[in-house]
A and B are shown apart, each in its own frame.
Chain A
Amino acid sequence: MYRYDDYDQTIVRQRINDFRDAVERRLSGHLSEEEFKLIRQMNGVYLQLHAYMLRVAVPYGSLDSRQMHKLAHIARTYDKGYGHFTTRQNIQYNWPALRDMPDILEELAAVDMHAIQTSGNLIRNVTADPYAGAAAEELADPRPYAELIRQWSTLHPEFSFLPRKFKIAVNASATDRAAVKFHDIGLQLKNDPQQGRGFSVVVGGGMGRTPFVGPILRDFVPEAQILTYLEAVLRSYNELGRRDNAFKARIKILVHELGKEAFSEMVEQEFARLLPTADDLPTVELARIRSQFITPTFDQLPDQDADYEQALKTDDAFAHWVAVNVVPHKQPGYAIANISLKPYGGIPGDISADQMDLVADLAQTVGHDEIRATHAQNLVLPHVRKRDLYTVWQALDKAGLATANLDRASDIIACPGLDYCVLANARSIPIAQEISKRFAAKGREDLIGELKIKISGCINACGHHHAGHIGILGVDRKGEEMYQLTLGGSGAEDASIGQITGRGFDEAGIVDAVDTVVDTYLGQRKTDETFLETYRRLGPAPFKEALYGTA
């Protein structure tokens, strides 16, 4: 966990005072809603269909128990007793009162948290691999880099009024758990034999109405120069990104319209201009940030634990949860435990205050005080001793948090949709709930294996449907909610954009259609083949035939 120093703390406090002043001006009528909109957005406050919503930043998805307890407290005191984890590793509160917002922000500041830049046309919360510091195959912990970028992008004087929002992700493992290729900038840590550690930089990926798997703009940027390179990219984007049409304002459109080569040339020119006078302090700062992270002191343990092995043998439900939700840790005797926020028939990402407290307690007592939020809207206890897993599971199970469905059909990503969002064309959550119930009732998730279903309630694609193995997009057709189906997307290192199958389905039809697609896969797959592998081998034809019949 990164600990704020007085400087970090002061920045957050000054921002709250600023926002408190703006809220007072709004409530007393001195600020119009239109003027206030921009200010509140930069501070994480949205106006939804029914109420204001506060989106709290969870930088790179990292939380400790103190922070999680605070999130629970806020849910209880200022909301209806729950919160909602988002696809940017953040948490949203859907029902706080506007006049309470500054107080909530004060509460957050007390535990080194804030809601700065979780909305607006600026650099948003930086995301990273949720298994950072725990993953067996990682090159280095990506979070210090993400924290360096968080600070550099916080209240940036030049880049706070960009053409559109700007999202940066950092990944440091061969396995991409941060969806770097779908970001405005995706940083993949790598080692170069001559130049040492640095990043391969993806620029111009994204979802929305024109999805792109981002191209690699530069194969290697040394870590000492990364902020300089980011500055060159952001300045080029701020100057040249389209401002005439919000739908064409993301950097992906600029890169696409100019062409990767032309844009890259422009960035290179600026990068070359900046380098001779570039600041050396970020490198010094990186060392300080690393030292400000409280990293766990792992116990030296044998990799196997007799009691744990015994529990696996005697308790099938536990063994099943371990098989699905627990993944290997870099440290012998430890494991990474995923906590699903996708109970069958539940709302993806929702968590009650009591559940938050429980997760916090577990982290504190048996989890080296670390919790992560994932972009798949789940939580992780990244450092659990194998010998403690059974206790952890029992506690989670009692609290309804032990659903064994990580990366399975019912582990669905869904945007808030028409139940909350002003932009949505259709509801997402009820569709997720129905699909989840269907798979639960059929009890064949284990048979199906890895299957990522993602649902967006409109073309803005907050539910990442383009990157779903099965994607669902809600559309409005003459006042009726309809759902388009896409197949073959992936948000991982093998990123791809799903293809639309054909005409859409109504609310009941879309659940059947997903079932049909899964049946087709099960009928056609070869041994050990995942859904995505089968789809990539066969292409869309057999799925279309099953869905629509032969033409």
Chain B
Amino acid sequence: MERLDLRKLTGAHLKPYRQMDDDAPMPEEGAVLVSLERLTAESETLLAHNYPVGLLVPGQAKAADLAPWLDKVALIAIRFEKFSDGRGFSLAHRLRDEQGFGGEIRATGHLIADHAEFLLRSGVTSVELSDPLAVDHFIKRLKLYSLWYQDTLDARPTILELRHGRTRKRLAS
């Protein structure tokens, strides 16, 4: 498996996480990914370990259900079951915008290069890809786009901000 940081366009610094089945014994060392069910059931033992524990959730998971764990896990991995299933984008958006999660969100599963830019702008920070060629395609696409109309959930300005020469204000204020 290859890893890519969508902003830095390299994966060298990214930690590999081992995906654990719910009944598999925990390894002695190395970072692991566990399901919400397992984390909920075994949180005390899991979080007491001195290796990083990430939460692996499907795209249809509810952000609010993950809320209690967001400050306890090292990373959230969103699994895309099928490349055409866009629920993971909304989940990532909610984790950032609704839950205020500031940690790493990694997309896994059936990803295609056409997702690259959309993932980044939905709040996903890294991806796990099956082969090096896919990494090249992701990088190429991320370099292709320099402008967007929608909010990016980060400091990069939108077209609207560029046009009007200022950052957005809140409607309510």
Chain A residues with CB under 8 Å of B151's CB are: 279
- List, in ascending order, chain A residues with CB within 8 A of B89's CB: 157-161, 238
Residues of A within 8 A of B162 (CB): 7
Within 8 A of B (CB), among A265-288: 273, 275-285, 288
- Decide: A156 near B150, CB < 8 A? Known: A35-B112, A239-B60, A281-B164: yes
Nearest Cβ on chain A to B114's Cβ, whole angstroms: 6
User: How many A residues, CB 8 Å from partner?
Assistant: 44
Binds B, one of A9-17, A167-175, A373-381: A9-17
Are B90's CB and A235's CB within 8 A?
Answer: yes
Stretch of A147-155, A512-520, A543-551 contacting B (4+ beta carbons < 8 Å): A147-155
List residues of B (106-129) whose CB comes within 8 Å of A's CBs.
112, 114-115, 117-122
Minimum CB–CB distance for B141 against chain A, Å: 7
B168-A238 in contact (CB<8A): no
Are A243 and B85 touching (Cβ within 8 A)? Answer: yes
Q: Chain B residues near A18 (CB, 8 Å)?
A: 141, 144-145
Smallest CB-CB separation from B170: which chain A residue?
A277
Query: Of B83, B146, B148, which one neighbours A157 at CB under 8 angstroms?
Result: B148
A157 engages B150 (CB within 8 Å): yes
A333 to chain B, nearest CB (A): 37
Given contact pairs A239-B90, A243-B85, A278-B170, A11 touches B118 in the complex (Cβ within 8 A): no
Residues of B close to A162: CB separation below 8 A: 86
Asked whether any CB of chain B lies closer than 8 Å to the CB of A90, the reply is no
| Residues of A contacting B172 in the complex (Cβ-Cβ under 8 angstroms) | 275-278
Asked whether, in the complex, the Cβ of A160 is within 8 Å of the Cβ of B160, the reply is no
Could you tell me which residues of chain A, from 233 to 248, have a CB within 8 Å of some CB in chain B? 235, 238-239, 243
Whether the Cβ atoms of B160 and A38 lie closer than 8 Å is no
Distance in angstroms between the alpha carbons of A225 and B172 in the assembled complex: 10
Query: Quick check: is B159 within 8 A (CB to CB) of the other chain?
Result: yes
Q: Whole-angstrom distance from the CB of B82 to the nearest CB of chain A?
A: 8
Question: In B46-83, which residues have CB < 8 Å from any A CB?
Answer: 60, 83
B60 close to A288 (CB less than 8 A): no
Least CB distance from A304 to B in Å reads 45
Interchain CB contact under 8 A, B84 and A38? yes
Contact of B170 among A7, A273, A276 (CB under 8 A): A276
Interface on chain A toward B: helix, strand, loop, or mixed SS?
helix
Interface string of A228-261 (1 = CB under 8 A from B): 1000000100110001000000000000000000
B144 to chain A, nearest CB (A): 5
Check A5 for interface membership: any CB of B closer than 8 A: yes
Q: Counting CB contacts under 8 A, is B13 at the interface?
A: no
B86: chain A residues at CB < 8 Å are: 121, 158-162, 238
A-contact bits for B129-163, CB 8 A (1 contact / 0 none): 00000000000110011111111100000111111
Would you call A493 an interface residue if the criterion is a C-beta within 8 Å of the partner chain's C-beta atoms? no
Residue in B98, B164, B169 whose beta carbon sits within 8 Å of that of A285 in the complex: B164
Bound-state CA distance A278–B168 (Å) is 9
> With a CB–CB cut-off of 8 A, which chain A residues contact B147?
7, 10-11, 14
CB contact list, A312-349 vs B, under 8 A: none
Cross-interface CB contact of B149 among A11, A225, A277, A284, cutoff 8 Å: A11
Residues of A within 8 A of B161 (CB): 281
A39 near B: Cβ within 8 Å? yes
Please tell me if the beta carbons of B87 and A238 are within 8 angstroms of each other in the complex.
Answer: yes
Residues of B within 8 A of A280 (CB): 168-171
Residues of B within 8 A of A303 (CB): none
Quick one: CB contact mask for A428-449 with B, threshold 8 Å, 1 for yes? 0000000000000000000000
A288-B164 CB under 8 A given contacts A17-B144, A155-B148: yes
Contact: A39 with B114, CB < 8 Å? Answer: yes
A219 at the interface (CB under 8 A from B): no
A162–B89 Cα distance when bound, in Å, is 10
| A21 at interface by CB-CB < 8 Å | yes
Which B residues touch A278, using CB under 8 A?
A: 170-172
Give the docked Cα–Cα distance between A21 and B141 (Å).
10
Asked if B83 contacts A21 (CB within 8 A), the reply is no
Question: Is A395 engaged at the interface, CB distance under 8 Å to the other chain?
Answer: no
| B93 at interface by CB-CB < 8 Å | yes
Q: Which residue of B lies closest to A276 (CB)?
A: B172
Asked if residues B117 and A224 are in contact (CB atoms below 8 Å), the reply is no
- With known contacts A5-B163, A161-B89, A155–B168 Cβ distance under 8 A: no
Chain B residues in 8 Å Cβ range of A160: 86, 89, 118
The CA-CA distance from A11 to B89 in the complex, in Å, is: 21
14 other A-B residue contacts (CB within 8 Å) besides A38-B114, A158-B86, A278-B170: A7-B162, A14-B144, A151-B149, A152-B149, A152-B150, A157-B119, A157-B148, A157-B150, A157-B152, A158-B89, A161-B118, A228-B171, A239-B60, A275-B171
Q: Give 17 pairs: A residue, B residue, CB < 8 Å, sorted on A.
A: A11-B149, A17-B144, A18-B144, A21-B140, A121-B84, A154-B149, A157-B119, A157-B121, A161-B85, A228-B171, A235-B94, A279-B160, A280-B168, A280-B169, A281-B158, A281-B164, A284-B164
List residues of chain A with CB under 8 Å of any chain B CB.
5, 7, 10-11, 14, 17-18, 21, 35, 38-39, 42, 121, 151-152, 154-162, 224-225, 228, 235, 238-239, 243, 273, 275-285, 288
Residues of B within 8 A of A (CB): 60, 83-87, 89-90, 93-94, 98, 112, 114-115, 117-122, 140-141, 144-152, 158-164, 168-172
A-B residue pairs, 4 tightest by C-beta: A161-B86, A157-B121, A278-B171, A157-B118
